[in-house]
């Protein structure tokens, strides 16, 4: 009996709501009562739907814009770790909504698979993720002009921590820099230029170049910080490289995340990027102690991701997609848009708000949307 | 070995910097070196900087030797007798001026009893660390720094007696307070600067209480009776100036009653106050639009002389008249000549300003507020002894701002008024608060300044005891009469046909971008359109080529300049600003074609 009722309402109400009602109702509720509940639920549902012609975008813009004027410019500092802070507040929101590719503070939160997240050897795991360049393991680098060689003095202690041997470093050097014969002598590495001699300029350039040679770890991860979250250990990093991190066998690829939305879009797809925009923006707003309905943020995230790539709310991003010339011209670089439109003979259909405000026509929103249709006697 | 720099230039080295500096200072105090010289030793870079250049801010301090001030009681007595002058003290090395650099090496004591062996200087008085205006804040050291600062800034905007010869001066935008008083709670600096010769406020009775919400958010409630008795009454003076300018070709302006055939002649009524010489008579009551000085000017371009119209004079009207919303009485007329020998007429307009809702008042502690309500004397609260406050100040202005001096002044003023004496509120050297309270108690009042008060309307006693006292209040020069502005219809700009901007031009209040957004968000599409209708125009549009067509008013027919009159032409409503945009696009060789279609 009640099953039939639920079936009937399945066309009218979203599945999720019907399931919620099913769960909430006590067992053996009478059909009449169930019907009443469903009727009320339907009424409530219809009432909370957005009306046709509601300016949802503008309301979202105002709902996010107004509280963000109260945000502070403070950055959040990691206690105890020097120079590791995160952009939050308005700068971060601007960064996300602009769809910037280079973040001020790229960051990852790496969750680990079961045996590894218990805290054993967490420092070693963390340290192995961190990107190490040559300059971090050498004490001194100099050029021997007479021999036309580059001489590196290694930091033995540092090597021990990183579980590296001089032989490994020599291998890396040979691989990444052609034209040098690399050999070890005591705790030093000597690099002799093959072929052309006396080309000091070249040698000097090489010397500067090898300083930044990648030796170990994941590229782009400049700091690591193991943190205990509830019962689990996670690694927070400065710098982000989602693609490479996910390939590591001990990393839990379901919960590991980054704050770089473009990286998520390219590794996990737009849907993930959309969710990540929502999460990131919402987190910032929540951290500031402000209250914005998620649906406003969801709308913004949807707009940014509609056509499959992440686009910022800038004149190069979402705004450039507007169909109206006048609307585009009214937002930054007017002349560029007008001239380009005139070159191809673009037509403005006056379908959106800004153009109609400019022409002093009723805007097609709210009361301006419906038209009156009557039959005219001929 | 220290490096020595003179005015920033390296001049040599000194083996023992201590001895070197002592020697330089000694010579300066003896008068062998200029008293303008300052010397500083920088420990970090081990260098000595000697400065005699100009542009350094310096301040005088008493020299201290072995923990003893060089300036003794004997010197003070000699100064009092007039035997010693300031310059003598400097010449004798008792007082010296330090610049910012030398202060770094000095250890200055605040008061004489604080002196120790390490001290090098003694402050003449702690008062000299603030400027003149700040020293006029009584009990200023009890205030927070920001409020002391605003308090000192506010005093510069107060109305008072700025110059006694104001009657023969022609200053722009000047206010004179009618019955200024010297403050009961004053400071040492009030005497020094002879504040009683140009006071800028009045001592009034202030009660700290709310009044039906009319003094919330920093507004104040004023007693109507106090206003009638002259509280805050002031006069506003503004000159109107006209000059007979000379132009090329022997032409010149003419100050006179303009002829009726002058271009731009206003109306006979507007010129009614002008006397035979074209200037208004003193003591005339004038209002908006009335001409004060009649003047005509020669035509702007000689070529514009209308050859065919002999009867009309080519001169144009250029009188000086009262501005929009302005009124007053003609105070004073001055006819003179300027440097170039042109006739110069200045007319001063006077306007009495009685305090009204919106006028700004302040105490001397940055507690400024705007009048929120003027209450009849009968409805004001009153104390048991029958005292009715002149002003009600909201208690919410106190906790967050922490202007303790405001409260102390209130008690001090009360004691001063009861005891018939002036209270000394000099910064860091004021009378003791406790003594003031004791004195207040001796007059039979509660020592904390509160009193039992009664509601003026119902006569009921208030549950709370109200903090009342006397304090010095200032009327600030920001008065609503100079700022009030509204518009329904009015002048528009020539170019855009949109309303003008600003009060002086009777402009409109802009409904800006974000305000527009609220209409959009609310979905009131047609209301938004109506709001932006100020520059709407109806233009004939050729449906063939989509450009603006022409309406021939004589023959009442429409035609298009490119397509002729055999085309469909429709009248379209749009904003004039958009028509301008179309014109601008055309001017840069872009063809904006309007394609019309039925909306429904």
Residues B225 and B272 in one domain: no
Residue among A77, A98, A95 at smallest CA distance from A86: A77
Cα-only R_g, chain B: 35
Show which of residues 575-594 on chain B sit within 8 Å of chain A, judged by CB atoms: 575, 577-578, 581, 585, 590-591
More confident of the two residues A139 and B396? B396
Q: What is the mean pLDDT of chain A?
A: 85
What CATH number corresponds to the domain at position A334? Answer: 1.10.150.390
Q: pLDDT: is A213 or A293 the higher one? A: A293
The answer on pLDDT for B599 being more than 70 is no
Helical packing angle, A56-68 and B513-522, nearest 10°: 130
The interaxial angle of helices A56-68 and A270-287, nearest 10 deg, is 40
Q: Are residues B228 and B371 in the same domain?
A: yes
Query: Which residues in chain A have their CB less than 8 angstroms from residue B590's CB?
Result: 338-339, 342
Q: Is residue B56 part of a domain?
A: yes
pLDDT higher than threshold 60 for residue A79: no
Read off the pLDDT of residues B430-443 as tens digits, 9 standing for 90 and up.
999 999 999 999 99
Does residue B598 surpass a pLDDT of 90? Answer: no
Residue B45 is predicted with a pLDDT of 87
Q: Flag whether pLDDT at A119 surpasses 80.
A: no
Query: Which among B475, B494, B528 is the end of a domain?
Result: B475
Q: What is the mean pLDDT of chain B?
A: 91
Rounded mean pLDDT, A296-315: 93
Look up residue A219 and give its two tokens. 């590229």
- Assess whether B87 and B161 both reside in one domain: no
Mean pLDDT along residues B266-276: 90
How close A357 comes to chain B (CA, Å)?
7
Q: Alpha helix locations (H) across chain A?
A: 2-9, 15-24, 31-47, 56-68, 89-97, 122-129, 134-137, 156-162, 166-176, 200-210, 242-247, 261-268, 270-287, 294-305, 325-329, 334-344, 353-358
Per the model's pLDDT, the better-predicted residue between A124 and B4 turns out to be B4
- Number of compact structural domains in chain B: 3
How crowded is the C-beta side of B176, counted as CA atoms within 13 Å?
Answer: 17
- Does A371 have pLDDT greater than 90? no
Q: What is the mean pLDDT of residues B26-31?
A: 91
Same domain membership, residue B372 and residue B228: yes
Residue A1 pLDDT level (bands cut at 50, 70, 90): low
Q: Which residues contact A218 (CB under 8 A, 6 or more apart)?
A: A129, A130, A131, A241, A244, A245, A248
Q: Does residue A85 belong to any structural domain of this protein? A: no
- Whether residues B525 and A59 touch (CB distance < 8 A) is answered with no
pLDDT number for residue A81 = 53
Q: Which two tokens stand for residue B375?
A: 């209450």
Residue B598 is assigned to a structural domain of this protein: no
The CATH code of the domain that includes B375 is 2.40.270.10
For residue B303, the model assigns a pLDDT of 53
Is B85 a domain residue? Answer: yes
Is A9 inside any structural domain?
yes
Q: Pick from A358, A363, A369: which is nearest to B528 by CB?
A: A363
Domain-terminating residue out of A166, A189, A216: A216
Q: Does A174 contact chain B (CB < 8 Å)?
A: no
> Which of A:330-349 have CB within 8 Å of B?
338-339, 342, 347
Residue B416 counted as domain residue: yes
Say what the pLDDT of residue A105 is. 87
- Residue A322 tokens, joined: 């507007």
The pLDDT tens digits for B115-167 are: 999 999 999 988 888 889 999 999 999 999 999 999 999 999 999 999 989 98
Within a domain: residue A297?
no
Per the domain annotation, does A165 fall within a domain?
yes
% of residues, chain A, pLDDT over 90 = 29
Q: Please list, residue by residue across B447-457, b when 16 or more beta carbons sit within 10 angstroms of its beta carbon and e when fewer do.
A: eebbbebbebe
The lowest-confidence range among A5-9, B24-28, B45-49 is A5-9
Dist CA A356 CA A361 (whole Å): 5
Secondary structure (DSSP) of B549-571: -EEETTTTEEEBTTTBTSS-EEE
Does one domain contain both B286 and B342? yes
What residues form DSSP beta bridges with B391? B206, B222
Of the three residues B288, B322, B353, the one that is the final residue of a domain is B353
From chain A, the residues in CB contact with B597 under 8 A are none
Verify that B280 and B317 share a domain, yes or no: yes
In a domain? residue A11:
yes
Q: Which of B517, B518, B536 sits opposite A360 (nearest CB)?
A: B536
Instruction: Give per-residue pLDDT as tens, B84-126.
Output: 999 999 988 899 999 999 999 999 998 889 999 999 999 998 8
Residues A284, B543: Cα–Cα separation, whole Å: 54
How many CB contacts within 8 angstroms connect chain A with chain B?
Answer: 72
Has residue B551 been placed in a domain? no
Tell me if A208 is assigned to some domain: yes
Q: Does A361 reside within a domain?
A: yes
Question: Is the whole model's pTM more than 0.90, yes or no?
Answer: no
Average pLDDT over residues B405-426: 95
- The neighbour count for residue A7, using CB atoms within 10 Å, is 10
Q: What angle do CA A44, A46, A47 make, to 5 degrees?
A: 65
Q: State yes or no: pLDDT of B323 exceeds 90.
A: no
Domain boundary among B427, B448, B475: B475
In a domain, residue B371? The reply is yes
pLDDT band of B305, cuts 50, 70, 90: low
Q: Which are the contacts of A180, defined by CB distance < 8 A and separation ≥ 6?
A: A150, A173, A174, A191, A192, A193, A194, A206
User: Tell me, what DSSP letter sits at residue A26?
Assistant: P
Same domain? B221 vs B269:
no
pLDDT digits (tens, 9 = 90+) for B212-247: 999 999 999 999 999 999 999 999 999 999 999 888
C-alpha distances in angstroms, B342 versus B169, B244, B253, B321, B335?
Answer: 20, 6, 10, 20, 11
Q: Tokens in use for B67?
A: 């923990």
Q: Please say whether the beta carbons of A342 and B590 come within 8 A.
A: yes
From chain B, the residues in CB contact with A353 under 8 A are: 520
List, for residues A38-55, the tens digit of each pLDDT value: 999 999 999 999 999 999
State which residues form the domain around B111.
2-124
Binary contact (B518, A62; C-beta < 8 A): yes
Where is A351: in which H helix or E strand?
A: none
At B347, give phi and psi (nearest 5°): -125, 125
Q: ipTM surpassing 0.90, yes or no?
A: no
- A117 Cβ partners below 8 Å, 6+ apart? A111, A232, A233, A234, A252
Can you tell me the mean pLDDT for B474-499?
92
Q: Tokens in use for A364?
A: 């097609």
Please check whether residue B322 lies inside any domain of the structure. yes
Over residues B388-397, mean pLDDT: 95
Q: Which domain holds residue A17?
A: 2-47
Q: How confident is the model at residue A205 (pLDDT cuts 50, 70, 90)?
A: confident
B252 sits in which H/E element: none
**Mean pLDDT confidence for B263-290:** 91
Active-site hit among B42, B128, B218, B277: B218
Nearest-CB residue to B520 (from A58, A358, A371):
A58
B218 is a catalytic site residue: yes
Residue B444, pLDDT > 90, answer yes
Do residues B335 and B371 both lie within one domain? no
**Chain A hits for B595, Cβ within 8 Å:** 347
Q: What's the distance, CA B149 to chain centroid?
A: 15
- Do residues A57 and B516 touch, judged by C-beta distance below 8 A? no
For residue B96, tell me if it sits in a domain.
Answer: yes
The enclosing domain of B290 has a CATH number of: 2.40.50.150
* pLDDT computed for residue B309 by the predictor: 54
Q: Which residues in A186-303 belong to E strands, given as ranges?
A: 188-193, 214-216, 223-229, 232-238, 257-258
Q: Kindly report the CATH number assigned to the domain that includes residue A206.
A: 3.30.1360
Other C-beta atoms within 10 Å of B356: how many? 15
Q: Domain for residue A103, yes or no?
A: no
Q: How many domains does the structure of chain A reveal?
A: 3
Q: Taking a C-beta distance cutoff of 8 angstroms, is the pair B146, B152 a contact?
A: no
The pLDDT of residue B584 is above 80: yes
Range from A77-91, B371-385, B476-490 carrying the lowest mean pLDDT: A77-91
Helix (H) or strand (E) segment spanning residue B331:
strand B328-337
The residues, any chain, with a CB within 8 Å of residue B519's CB and separated by 6 or more, are B527, B528, B531
> Residue B57 in contact with residue B98, Cβ under 8 Å?
no
Measured CA to CA in angstroms, residue B85 lies from A247, B268, B364 at distances of 88, 68, 34
């Amino acid at each position: 009996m009640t099953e039939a009722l639920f079936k009937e309402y399945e066309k009218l109400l979203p599945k999720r709501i019907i399931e919620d009602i099913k769960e909430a109702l006590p067992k053996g509720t009478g059909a009449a009562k169930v019907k009443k509940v469903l009727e009320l639920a339907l009424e409530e549902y219809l009432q909370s739907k957005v009306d046709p012609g509601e300016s949802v975008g503008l309301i979202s813009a105002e709902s996010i814009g107004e509280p963000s004027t109260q945000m502070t410019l403070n950055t959040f500092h990691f206690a105890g770790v020097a120079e590791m802070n995160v952009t939050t507040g308005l700068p971060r929101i601007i960064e996300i909504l602009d769809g910037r590719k280079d973040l001020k503070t790229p960051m990852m939160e790496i969750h680990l698979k079961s045996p590894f997240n218990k805290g054993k050897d967490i420092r070693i795991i963390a340290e192995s993720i961190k990107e190490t360049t040559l300059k971090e393991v050498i004490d001194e680098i100099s050029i021997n002009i007479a021999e036309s060689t580059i001489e590196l003095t290694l930091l033995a202690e540092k090597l021990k921590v990183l579980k590296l041997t001089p032989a490994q470093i020599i291998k890396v050097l040979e691989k990444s820099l052609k034209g040098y014969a690399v050999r070890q002598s005591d705790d030093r590495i000597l690099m002799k230029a093959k072929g052309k001699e006396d080309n000091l300029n070249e040698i000097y350039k090489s010397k500067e170049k090898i300083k930044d040679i990648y030796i170990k770890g994941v590229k782009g991860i400049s700091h690591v910080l193991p943190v205990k979250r509830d019962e689990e250990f996670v690694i927070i990093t400065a710098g982000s490289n989602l693609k490479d991190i996910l390939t590591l066998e001990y990393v839990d690829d379901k919960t590991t995340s980054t704050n770089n939305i473009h990286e998520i879009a390219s590794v996990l797809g737009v849907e993930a990027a959309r969710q990540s925009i929502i999460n990131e923006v919402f987190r910032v707003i929540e951290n500031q102690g402000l209250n914005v309905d998620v649906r406003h943020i969801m709308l913004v995230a949807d707009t940014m991701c509609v056509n499959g790539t992440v686009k910022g709310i800038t004149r190069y991003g979402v705004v450039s997609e507007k169909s109206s010339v006048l609307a585009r011209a009214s937002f930054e670089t007017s002349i560029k848009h007008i001239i380009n439109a005139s070159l191809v003979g673009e037509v403005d259909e006056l379908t959106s708000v800004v153009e109609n405000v400019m022409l002093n026509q009723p805007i097609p929103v709210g009361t301006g949307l419906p038209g009156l249709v009557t039959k005219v006697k001929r | 070995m220290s490096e020595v720099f003179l005015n920033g230039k390296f001049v040599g080295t000194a083996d023992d910097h201590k001895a070197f500096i002592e020697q330089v200072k000694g010579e300066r105090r003896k008068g062998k070196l200029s008293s303008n010289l300052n010397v500083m030793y920088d420990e970090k870079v081990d260098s000595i900087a000697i400065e005699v250049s100009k542009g350094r801010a310096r301040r005088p301090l008493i020299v201290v030797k072995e923990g003893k001030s060089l300036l003794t009681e004997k010197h003070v007595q000699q100064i009092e007798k007039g035997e010693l002058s300031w310059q003598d003290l400097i010449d004798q090395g008792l007082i010296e001026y330090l610049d910012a650099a030398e202060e770094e090496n000095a250890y200055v004591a605040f008061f004489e009893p604080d002196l120790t062996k390490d001290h090098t200087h003694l402050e003449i008085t702690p008062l000299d660390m603030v400027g003149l205006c700040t020293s006029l804040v009584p009990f200023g050291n009890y205030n927070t720094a920001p409020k002391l600062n605003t308090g000192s800034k506010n005093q510069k905007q107060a109305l008072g007696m700025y110059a006694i010869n104001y009657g023969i001066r022609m200053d722009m935008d000047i206010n004179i307070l009618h019955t200024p008083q010297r403050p009961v709670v004053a400071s040492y600096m009030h005497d020094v600067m002879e504040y009683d010769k140009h006071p800028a406020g009045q001592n009034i009775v202030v009660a700290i209480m709310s009044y039906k919400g009319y003094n919330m958010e920093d507004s104040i409630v004023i007693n109507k009776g106090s206003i009638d008795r002259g509280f805050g009454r002031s006069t506003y003076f503004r000159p109107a100036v006209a000059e007979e300018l000379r132009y090329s070709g022997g032409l010149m302006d003419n100050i006179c009653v303009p002829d009726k055939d002058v271009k731009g002649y206003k109306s006979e009524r507007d010129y009614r106050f002008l006397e035979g010489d074209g200037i208004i008579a003193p003591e005339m009551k004038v209002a908006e639009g009335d001409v004060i000085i009649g003047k005509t000017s020669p035509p702007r371009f000689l070529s514009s002389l209308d050859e065919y119209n002999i009867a009309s004079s080519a001169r144009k009207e250029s009188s000086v008249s009262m501005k929009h919303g302005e009124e007053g009485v003609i105070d004073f007329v001055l006819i003179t000549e300027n440097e170039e020998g042109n006739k110069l007429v200045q007319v001063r307009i006077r306007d009495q300003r009685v305090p009204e809702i919106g006028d700004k008042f302040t105490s001397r502690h940055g507690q400024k507020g705007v009048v929120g309500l003027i209450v009849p004397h009968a409805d004001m609260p009153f104390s048991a002894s029958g005292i009715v406050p002149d002003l009600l100040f909201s208690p919410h202005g106190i906790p967050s701002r922490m202007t303790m001096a405001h409260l102390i002044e209130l008690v001090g003023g009360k004691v001063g008024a009861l005891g018939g004496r002036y209270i000394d509120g000099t910064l860091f050297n004021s009378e003791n608060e406790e003594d003031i309270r004791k004195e207040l108690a001796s007059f039979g009042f509660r020592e904390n300044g509160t009193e039992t008060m009664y509601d003026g309307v119902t006569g009921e006693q208030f549950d709370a005891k109200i903090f009342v006292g006397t304090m010095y209040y200032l009327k600030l020069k920001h008065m609503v009469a100079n700022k009030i502005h509204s518009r329904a219809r009015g002048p528009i700009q020539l170019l855009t046909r949109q309303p003008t901007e600003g009060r002086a031009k009777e402009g409109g209040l802009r409904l800006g971008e974000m305000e527009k957004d609220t209409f959009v968000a609310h979905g009131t599409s047609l209301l938004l359109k109506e709001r932006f209708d100020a520059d709407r125009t109806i233009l004939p549009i050729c449906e063939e080529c989509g450009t603006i067509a022409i309406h021939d008013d004589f023959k009442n027919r429409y035609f298009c300049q490119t397509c002729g009159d055999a085309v469909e032409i429709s009248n379209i409503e749009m904003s004039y600003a958009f028509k301008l945009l179309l014109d601008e696009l055309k001017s840069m060789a872009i063809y904006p074609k309007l394609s019309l279609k039925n909306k429904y």
